Structure 1
């Protein structure tokens, strides 16, 4: 018997102008950042009762993620990703989360499409 594939709720492409980065010009001018959050949880209770209270309100979650994205600047995308994951895992219904942070306007000195940092975090039992 294979393991049950977890249900997922995804918010992709959440976008904000923010000031994360190591370099002074990044802190001063800021740039566009995007976030993808994929939550793992059991949606069956919500589906059975058709009740929002028994699942994740993704509109509310998006507001909280946006608040982190536009909040206190950090040097590293890794730090930002962890803060975003922590917000998701704070919801008691979320078992695990995959976060990807995009920094498409980073200055690499060469042409590129995107820079991303992706992390997966699971709730500790």
Structure 2
């Protein structure tokens, strides 16, 4: 039988099981290390210490129709991002305060019901010195605002732009900016040639979009093909240039069947609104401008015949 003393020093996962009032699924992060300046003593000023984080999140039951879909779960990245965000926000004197901030930020996630956070200093003595707290939804102590990620920019590339000798220069200049970049490439409409029905042409246009995305990634290794919202969020926060492969998001979105995927500009406009982009950059000829309401956000800039 597990004793209270054994539980006191057990991993938070064991403690969460022992103290559960109802069975919940659990997501855990074990032995996550970070090097930071922290501490209330003068001897801890201007000194970097190793912190070890162990986190267990009890989550709401997964939907029966999960379908192996990464966008419908609480991602491990949310745990490490919560830690990184709080460590970057300010210098902490107390582990207790840091524990509270990390726990409260994790509980902002809709799936999170209860969280165990243990943080230990590894360099203050022969052993590990630490604090562990337990918090549940609605029990937030600190005032935590959701993190405000930089608003991304969607860069639309027409077939003409994909063949431009300026393509690498455009990517260089976009990469040098502060905003996250995601490319939307005009679909390869040759895929749908010969299709007899609108349904077939629509699905083939999605395949043409996938093909075009991989062609851009093949041209420039900095451009990474992504197909789901979880990957996009990670890319925006980590400075990765993304190329959108449209099939998954379009098919998973209730209004997706109404999107005119055969038109590259229309598809890019819908995608920009979907991810909250602050602007759309157009690389291509004037024919791609048809039907774009320049008074409607996101702001549309025509970059035809010039570089950034």
Please indicate the TM-score interval, normalised by the length of the shorter structure: 0.7 to 0.9
Q: Which runs of 5+ in 2 are unaligned?
A: 1-20, 140-308
Q: CA deviation at 1:44?
A: 2.2
SS of the aligned residue for 2:86 comes to helix
Cα distance change, pair 105–46 in 1 and its aligned pair in 2 (3 A): farther
Task: Give the corresponding residue for 1:92.
Answer: 110
Task: Give the corresponding residue for 1:36.
Answer: 54
Conserved 8 A contact 1:103-1:114: yes
Structure with greater helix percent: 2
Q: CA deviation at 1:70?
A: 4.5
Partner deviation per Cα, 1:21-51 (whole Å, 9 max, x = no partner): 0022312112111111100002421773222
Instruction: Tell me which stretches of 4 or more aligned residues in structure 1 moved more than 4 Å.
Output: none
SS of the aligned residue for 1:116 comes to strand
Task: Give the corresponding residue for 2:202.
Answer: none
Task: Give the corresponding residue for 1:61.
Answer: 79
Q: CA deviation at 1:66?
A: 2.3
TM-score normalised according to structure 2 size? 0.36
Structure with greater strand percent: 1
Partner residue of 1:124 out of 138, 147, 167:
138
- Aligned positions of 1:19-34 closer than 5 A: 19-34=37-52
Task: Give the corresponding residue for 1:115.
Answer: 129
CA-based RMSD: 2.0
Which has more radius of gyration?
2
Q: RCO (CA 8 Å, sep 6+): is it higher in 1 or 2?
A: 1
| 2: CA distance, partners of 1:97 / 1:46 | 23
Kindly tell me the number of residue pairs found equivalent between the two proteins.
Answer: 119
Q: Which runs of 5+ in 1 are unaligned?
A: none
Conserved 8 A contact 2:78-2:106: no
